[in-house]
Structure 1
Amino acid sequence: MFVSSLPEPAAANRMVARAALASERSADGRTSRIRTLRSDGPLVLRPSNPKGAEPLTHRRHDVARISLAAGTAGPLGGDDYALDIHVGAGSTLVLQEVAAMLVLPGATGGRSRMSIDIRIERDATFVWWPEPIIAAGRCDHCHNVRIAMDPAARLVLREETILGRHGEAPGAFASRLRITRAGAALYDQRLSFGPASTGWNGAAVLGNAKAVGSVVAVDPGWGDAPPSAAPFDRDAALTPLAGPGIAIGAVAADSLTLRRLLIRGLNELGSPWAI
């Protein structure tokens, strides 16, 4: 499990939540099902039955689908959330979110933290399609995602971050997304902005953008020849990884434009990725 080197939030005036989710292939091999579903306080996990063929799973019908909702406001300064996800061998798990996550300052200050550990086993597929994280003014938040994949596993992940609410400068925000295959690093992205960071609003990082996001797709079917680089917009590009994967990165003036750019990047891949 990923252990951050950052200090623990102060024990007082904070909420600690630990949730878990796991999928497996059914005994008859015909479908995927949920084996573990444990909500905790602000992290509410609910089954959400597929309405048809699921995009980004190569249009499969036999998937397990879960929605993540917020049981309380936050996280607030000092809160400590953690979510553990295990995608069992041969299963397909789709995780979506009901609404954006608004990261807020706490009444007594302190850093909030969200840690997410994900394991994807052989021949499994994990599609994680969250809503944006909004870094409100005066927040202080650390967001860590660690994904460990089997070489025969498949992943599609979206990340979107909004820098403050309307007319508001963002607080301090730091995130890290690290993906490994068979223990070797495939993707390791860090982003920090706000008053605790230097140079984040320069031309080499975010500039005047108020929204930043990415889509990462890993598919062993690409082998050693993932799609070629494609700068398809002034503010967005698709780039291959050093393995069977690609990353689509974009910045934008607002969340709607960011979402359109990321979808456009997927459409650049053609079928079966286009949505």
Structure 2
Amino acid sequence: MRATARLLAEADGRGGTALPVLAGDGPLALRRTRGVAGEACVTVVGAMSAPLGGDRIALEVTAGPGARLRVGSAAATIALPGRAAGPAHYEIRLTVADGAALHWLPEPLISAHGSELMMTTRVELAPTARLVLREEQILGRTGESPGRLTSRLTVHRGGRPLLDQELSYGPGAPGWDGGAVLGGHRAVGQLLVVDPSHDAQPLTPRRLAGTAVLVPLTGPAALATAVAPDALQLRRALDEAVTAVG
């Protein structure tokens, strides 16, 4: 399967945010939900099982100048094995213009046994853009070993690199379950906050609940990283990071 869903948010000139483009495709259905205080909210709904082995799906999200957009998902995304040979590919492309704000808060990605997924998230931020991005990955369903998952996140701000990292878990990934990476945990996630106001008040590194840390990045940004035994404890750690960042 090949599918690309697209979403465009624009300031409507009356203090709100319009959605001139809201186009789902294949397994990605996009639904506008109730927003508050001029913010547009969109929920990604899974229209069919995906990603499966061999699939290539993509989601393109653009927040135009001055727009305020919050994107979530109705349920977790489950990477499953498929009939086609080779890994599935899931690409997310986020663009946030000057004066715009994007909250990217999907539910977790679950790497089921026997699956193979290569996931990439690419973010382009204008100098005055704001971003809150959460990623959560659960390695295997209850009582099963995980599939192979490779996840890469790249963020550019004003055309310059802000963050570029790649993580790999599951069969064939060296050392992924050792003490230097997950240490036996099966849930891993991160929260990235980019806000120009942090230029004047940089955050200080701190340890959060459990096995989670919050560190400042070069530029007005902070990154919280956490590992946990399960999805519930992972979400609690990342929610604490939201409070710490403010």
TM-score range, shorter-chain basis?
over 0.9
Answer yes or no: is 1:96 the counterpart of 2:72: yes
2: distance between equivalents of 1:229 and 1:152? 23
CA contact (8 A) 1:226 1:241 kept: no
Aligned to 2:16: 31
Ranges in structure 2 where 5+ consecutive residues have no aligned partner: none
Aligned to 1:210: 186
Q: How many residues align?
A: 246
Amino acid at match of 2:5: A
Matches within 5 A, 1:1-275: 15-26=1-12, 28-50=13-35, 52=36, 61-223=37-199, 225-269=201-245, 273=246
CA contact (8 A) 2:53 2:81 kept: yes
What's the C-alpha RMSD, in Å, of the aligned pairs? 1.1
Aligned to 1:11: none
CA contact (8 A) 1:102 1:133 kept: yes
- Helix, strand or coil at the partner of 1:157: strand
- Helix, strand or coil at the partner of 2:178: coil
1: distance between equivalents of 2:173 and 2:110? 17
1: distance between equivalents of 2:59 and 2:208? 34
Task: Report the CA distance between 1:35 and its aligned residue.
Answer: 1.6
CA contact (8 A) 2:209 2:240 kept: no
1: distance between equivalents of 2:243 and 2:198? 17
Task: Report the CA distance between 1:107 and its aligned residue.
Answer: 2.0
Q: Which runs of 4+ in 1 moved over 2 A?
A: none
Q: Deviations over 1:136-189 (max 9, x none)?
A: 011110000000000100000100000001111111110001110011111112
Ranges in structure 1 where 5+ consecutive residues have no aligned partner: 1-14, 53-60
**Higher-strand-fraction structure:** 2
User: How many percent identity over aligned positions?
Assistant: 39
2: distance between equivalents of 1:138 and 1:109? 12
2: distance between equivalents of 1:207 and 1:193? 12
Amino acid at match of 1:30: G
Amino acid at match of 1:97: S
Task: Report the CA distance between 1:234 and its aligned residue.
Answer: 4.2
CA contact (8 A) 1:224 1:243 kept: no
1: distance between equivalents of 2:59 and 2:235? 25
CA contact (8 A) 2:154 2:164 kept: yes
Deviates more, 1:16-25 or 1:107-116: 107-116
Task: Report the CA distance between 1:233 and its aligned residue.
Answer: 3.2
Task: Report the CA distance between 1:266 and its aligned residue.
Answer: 1.6
2: distance between equivalents of 1:186 and 1:204? 24
1: distance between equivalents of 2:210 and 2:236? 13
CA contact (8 A) 2:210 2:228 kept: no
1: distance between equivalents of 2:119 and 2:172? 15
